[in-house]
Amino acid sequence: MKKNYTSDNQEPILKINNLKVYFDTDEGLIKAVDGVDLKMIKGTTLGLVGESGCGKSITCLSILRLIPSPPGIIADGEIIYKGKNLVELSEKDMEAIRGNDISMIFQEPMTSLNPVFTIGDQIKEVIMLHQKKTSIEAKELTIHILDKVGIPSPEIRINDYPHQMSGGMKQRVMIAMALTCNPEILIADEPATALDVTIQAQILDLMQSLQDESGMSILMVTHDLGVVASIASHVAIMYASKIVEYGSVEEIFENPRHPYTLGLFTSIPIIGEKKEDLYVIPGNVPNPLAFPKGCKFWPRCLFATKICKVLEPSLEEIKQDHKAACHFSKSIDKYIWKEKIKNA
Ligand SMILES: Nc1ncnc2c1ncn2[C@@H]1O[C@H](COP(=O)(O)OP(=O)(O)OP(=O)(O)O)[C@@H](O)[C@H]1O
Ligand code: SF4
Ligand SMILES: [Mg+2]
């Protein structure tokens, strides 16, 4: 069951403050993440949504300090986990946190499995790296965890090589690997995007039931607002390196206030709604080497005015547990939005 909490009243298990991650490239400085604030509440799922290139994966990789460096650096900010600032920890301390406390399912899981080792050996290796287990104990644990993620006959399938498994099975193996050490936080970067719809639903159900069992917190990156609605308690909408709207799923779905969020919602076909009501956000996410001045969304925004082109809005509270970064978010709502797109 999805848990609903007011995040304002809960001590977060992970808190990101003003995170900035830059890439110093030959073409110029790419500000991939530029002042992101986020919090995760224990035992719940936070959805992180946004178009391609807006900084979702880089935010996730920063938490585990896996930003390729050079050219990347964490230029500023804090990532607080159990009172420690992960940005300042030594590599040795981070190694102890990766996999044990915080695990990640990477965006390209199919390429994360080594084709020349059996899946059993690959999971065993992760267990033996992080836990003091003998080879026999690690094998038993591998079979147990494969069983838990729904791999039939795990005692036989541990001898399979990745190419002998279907996409859905490989994804389950990746989840099993991420869960071997019973992490407090699971970062799932588009864990089901490459899979067909039925398998996607099974993977999400599986993650949800594992969360119910273990109380882990999940950061779920997705393009799919349907996934957010089914699994997350809170959602952060990211655009061009910043969070532009944040709140409980109920509040954001019922009362979106940022024109980008409204555009994302109106671009999903809903059964029973007229095709004319669909809206496609014009243009593309801006090139990070040439972000527009002011609000980065203004070239695509139906509400943009002079001030938007010069002054970047900050993330302001609309009400408890709901924030948006738009100069006009207190007056824009879904009714005004509907009128606007009708006349656009
Ligand atoms: N190694 C790198 N060197 C230079 N720029 C990078 C590097 N990795 C990422 N970037 C840039 O950082 C920005 C954010 O990338 P990120 O991968 O976080 O996007 P994303 O939101 O995860 O997109 P997608 O939905 O396609 O996965 C992009 O502009 C990307 O080009
Ligand atoms: S600040 Fe202006 S351009 Fe940006 S989202 Fe709000 S209305 Fe649109
Ligand atoms: Mg990504």
**pLDDT digits over 67-86, tens only?**
999 999 999 999 999 999 99
* Antiparallel, parallel or unpaired: β 28-41 and 102-105: unpaired
Q: Which amino acid is at 317?
A: E
Ligand 2: nearest atom to the Cα of 313 = 1
Q: Say yes or no to pLDDT of 253 above 70.
A: yes
Give the integer Cα–Cα distance in Å for 157 and 152. 8
The set of protein residues with a Cβ atom below 6 angstroms from ligand 2 is: 259, 295, 297-298, 301, 303-304, 308, 313, 326-328
pLDDT of residue 279: 85
- 328 alpha carbon, closest ligand: 2
Ion ligand 3 neighbours (CB, 5 A) are 56-57, 107
Give the integer Cα–Cα distance in Å for 125 and 119. 10
With vertex at residue 82, the alpha carbon angle to CA 80 and CA 86, rounded to the nearest 5 degrees, is 40
Least trusted range by pLDDT, from 2-6, 17-21, 248-252: 2-6
Name which of 248, 180, 191 is nearest 5 in CA terms: 248
Residues 155-168 have a mean pLDDT of 92
Phi then psi dihedrals of residue 163, to 5 deg: -70, -15
pLDDT of residue 269: 65
Residues 240-261 have a mean pLDDT of 97
Q: Say yes or no to pLDDT of 300 above 60.
A: yes
pLDDT of residue 108: 72
- Residue ranges of alpha helices (H) inside 98-220 are 109-112, 119-130, 135-148, 154-157, 167-179, 197-214
Q: What is the DSSP letter of 63?
A: H
Least trusted range by pLDDT, from 42-51, 168-177, 321-330: 168-177
183: left (phi over 0), alpha (psi -120 to 50) or beta: beta
- Write down the pTM of the prediction: 0.92
pLDDT of residue 2: 56
Which of 295, 310, 315, 316 should be mutated for ligand 2, with most atoms under 8 A from CB?
295
Q: Say yes or no to pLDDT of 271 above 90.
A: no
Least trusted range by pLDDT, from 12-16, 56-60, 106-110, 262-266: 106-110
Number of C-beta neighbours around residue 233 at 10 A: 23
- 32 alpha carbon, closest ligand: 1
Name which of 105, 104, 102, 99 is nearest 195 in CA terms: 105
What is the pLDDT confidence band of residue 239, given thresholds at 50, 70 and 90?
A: very high
Least trusted range by pLDDT, from 195-209, 218-232, 290-304, 314-328: 195-209
Better-scored residue on pLDDT, 1 or 168 = 168
User: Which CA distances in Å does 18 have to 79, 113, 198, 243, 317?
Assistant: 9, 34, 38, 11, 16
Q: Say yes or no to pLDDT of 9 above 80.
A: no
pLDDT of residue 111: 67
Ligand 1: nearest atom to the Cα of 238 = 21
Least trusted range by pLDDT, from 45-54, 124-133, 151-160: 124-133
Q: Say yes or no to pLDDT of 314 above 60.
A: yes
Number of C-beta neighbours around residue 284 at 10 A: 11
Residues 160-166 have a mean pLDDT of 93
Name which of 68, 86, 75 is nearest 22 in CA terms: 75
